[in-house]
Amino acid sequence: MELTIEHLIDMSLTFSEPAIIIRTERGLVLAGTRITLYDVMDYVTENYPPKFIRAMLGLTDEQVTAALFYIETHRAEVETEYQFILKEAEELQQYYEEENRDRVTRIAAKSSKLGKEAIRAKLEAEKAKLMTSQT
């Protein structure tokens, strides 16, 4: 049976919520991992199934169940923090794009094929050599 958020609310869970979801300086985290509930929220907001979330984040069934249950039972708190995290990430992205704009422009202006001609010629020569040795 595929777990859904509705099933999580209805079922009796055997995990100890405080031992699995902890608050660190990074926010709400699955204990023993670097996975935050905000990482899980990225998938929840896109309606991915628990099985997919488990596979993508390398979690156990118990960890996914705990994360989804915590998110559902503390939805307002988690959603508020998640929106803050998204806003902060957007601001950081804008900052670094501004900081690196000149550098990116200089790199883009350089020829992307610089030095590749010699490598391509070598590959073509090896390919031709292989073709003649096979016939």
DSSP per-residue codes, the chain:
----HHHHHHSPP-S-HHHHEEEETTEEEETTSS-BHHHHHHHHTTT--HHHHHHHHT--HHHHHHHHHHHHHTHHHHHHHHHHHHHHHHHHHHHHHHHTHHHHHHHHHS-TTTTHHHHHHHHHHHHHHHHHHH-
pLDDT of residue 107: 82
**Could you tell me the pLDDT band of residue 119, with boundaries at 50, 70 and 90?**
confident
Q: How far apart are CA 127 and CA 116, in angstroms?
A: 16
**Could you tell me the pLDDT band of residue 9, with boundaries at 50, 70 and 90?**
very low
pLDDT of residue 134: 79
Give this prediction's pTM.
Answer: 0.63
| Contact assessment for residue 39 and residue 57, using Cβ atoms and an 8 Å cutoff | yes
Higher pLDDT, 83 or 18: 83
Mean pLDDT (whole number) for 91-106: 92
Mean pLDDT (whole number) for 104-121: 76
Domain count, the chain: 1
Q: Is the pLDDT of residue 116 over 90?
A: no
pLDDT of residue 16: 47
Q: Show the domain range for 109.
A: 1-135
Higher pLDDT, 86 or 113: 86
Higher pLDDT, 1 or 60: 60
pLDDT of residue 57: 96
Q: Is the pLDDT of residue 53 over 90?
A: yes
